[in-house]
Amino acid sequence: MEIYISNRLFYLAWGLVTLFFVYKLILEVYTYILSILIAYILLKLYAKKFKNKIKIKGQAVLITGCDTGLGHDAALRLASIGFNVFAGCLTPDGVGVNTLREKGGETLHVVPLDVTSDTSVKDALEVVKRKSPDAGLWAVINNAGIAFNGDVEIASIETMKRIAEVNIYGMIRVTQACLPLIRKSKGRIINVTSVKGRLAIPTDAPYTMTKWAGEALSDSLRREMYRFGVNVIIIEPGHFGGITGMLTNESGKLATENLEEAWHNASSNVKSVYGRQYIDGLINNIRHVGEGGATNTEPVSDAMQDAVENVSPKYRYLVHGTNSSFDKYCVLAVLNQVLPEVVMDWLVRYTFPLPRTTEQNN
């Protein structure tokens, strides 16, 4: 009886001591996490209030994809604060280009630039060298990009290659051409990827895979450029699709035509499984891509300006784009870094429901 009571007292004491140490451990862990969180918030507030900016004295900034959208607005913004901006445009006689010429002033130069052409990139760089011999090339913003919506089983290899040629190989082509000048100025390469460079959603692989490639390219390049004092920065716009024109207006019309072409060339098996109503659903999604998204590009222009003029810019700027307080793309992109795949797959299926296929209806 005495032994039984002693054992009970021993295990009770052991349990209490264990609970005490577990409590202390949890308390210390939470205190540690809270301390880090408070320090991070204070650091962010300090950096925002006391960030150092370079002295702007007409440094050259080359931006690709300035015909419309993010590149167009960033070119006007940077020219207005004193940078010597070279706005690369695919169609130098377009409406957007005329606006650049009217509003940009003497510090904005429209340059014909096709990022898929070695010759075009070389010619654009010669213009930069000729018109900014003293200040040099301070920054390159690789912004040019095209998009396509369609399942992996529907999109053609030619379409995937065409998108990659602009979104990734165009980025590489411009970067390689400009790096000698950027190394000399100890400037920066700024690559515009997307929130989809962190988050893969269905029916978007042709576009998304190029953005993941852009992220990987930028990370590798950043670590290569440390030794030269060159910053490599990533801009990840969120829900700005409706305001950039990437899948609206003429670009939306082209995306629809590409989808129609992909459907026309699809195999009989694919057509029977998916059904015409599935393609119509994707086209309808393109037409409504801007709903709930940003109504202006200012947040991205803010990020680009900071990336260009901040002495110590961020590695990444995830830019929320919405006309409310909730950008579902950006929120899911952050969650994608911490949640298990099975949970993320459920969230993506719930957030981005797909049109029904013939097989599902049967």
Same domain, 29 and 171: no
Query: Can you give the pTM of this predicted structure?
Result: 0.83
Sign of CA dihedral 190, 329, 213, 170: negative
26 plus 77 within the same structural domain: no
In a domain, 44, yes or no: no
Q: Catalytic residue numbers?
A: 207
Dist CA 116 CA 97 (whole Å): 19
Asked if 308 and 55 count as a contact pair (C-beta separation under 8 A), the reply is no
> Could you give the CA distance from residue 32 to residue 149 in angstroms, rounded to a whole number?
45
198 closest CA partner among 17, 20, 333, 357: 333
pLDDT tens-digit map of 51-89: 799 999 999 999 999 998 999 999 999 999 999 999 999
Look up the CATH number of the domain holding residue 186.
3.40.50.720
Question: What pLDDT shows up at residue 115?
Answer: 97
Q: Same domain for 280 and 159?
A: yes
Residue-level pLDDT at 7: 66
DSSP letters spanning 40-51? HHHHHHHHHHH-
What pLDDT sits at residue 122?
97
Count Cβ atoms within 10 A of the Cβ of residue 34 and give its class: 0-12 exposed, 13-18 middle, 19 or more buried.
exposed
Is residue 88 within a helix (H) or strand (E), and if so which, with residue range? Answer: strand 84-89
Whether residue 333 contacts residue 198, with contact meaning beta carbons closer than 8 Å, is answered with yes
The C-alpha atoms of residue 169 and residue 166 are separated, in whole angstroms, by 6
In whole angstroms, how far apart are CA 226 and each of 139, 183, 220, 221, 236? 16, 10, 10, 9, 21
pLDDT tens by residue, 111-130 = 999 999 999 999 999 999 99
Burial class (CB in 10 A: 0-12, 13-18, 19+), 286: buried
Examine the domain organization and report whether 176 and 287 are in the same domain: yes
pLDDT in tens, the chain (362 residues): 444 556 677 677 777 878 887 877 787 777 777 777 777 677 666 666 567 999 999 999 999 999 989 999 999 999 999 999 999 999 878 778 889 999 988 999 999 999 999 999 999 999 999 998 777 899 999 999 998 888 999 998 998 999 999 999 999 999 999 999 999 999 999 999 999 999 999 999 999 999 999 999 999 999 999 999 999 999 999 988 666 555 555 666 777 888 888 889 999 999 999 999 999 988 888 777 666 666 788 999 999 999 999 999 999 999 988 766 678 999 999 999 999 999 999 999 999 998 888 767 76
Same domain, 14 and 79: no
5 & 151 share domain: no
Q: Are residues 133 and 178 in the same domain?
A: yes
**Residue pair 357/274 in contact by the 8 Å Cβ criterion:** yes
Give residue 1's pLDDT.
47
SS in 3 state form for 226-291?
HHHCCEEEEEEECCCHHHHCCCCHHHHHHHHHHHHHHHHHCCHHHHHHHCHHHHHHHHHHHHCCCC
156 and 12, same structural domain? no
| Whether 159 and 28 share a structural domain | no
pLDDT at 347: 95
All residues at 6 or more sequence positions from 171 whose CB lies less than 8 Å from its CB, including other chains: 115, 142, 144, 191, 214, 217
- Residue 333 neighbours by CB distance under 10 Å: 20
Q: What pLDDT, on a 0 to 100 scale, did the predictor assign at position 5? A: 55
Q: How far apart are CA 91 and CA 98, in angstroms?
A: 10
The tally of domains found in the chain comes to 2
Nearest to 139 by CA among 200, 71, 198, 209: 71
Tell me whether residue 31 is in a domain: yes
**Does 122 share its domain with 34?**
no
What is the secondary structure of 124-145 as a DSSP string? HHHHHHHH-TTT-EEEEEE---
Domain that holds residue 25: 1-38
Q: Are residues 13 and 97 in the same domain?
A: no
Task: Verify that 12 and 136 share a domain, yes or no.
Answer: no
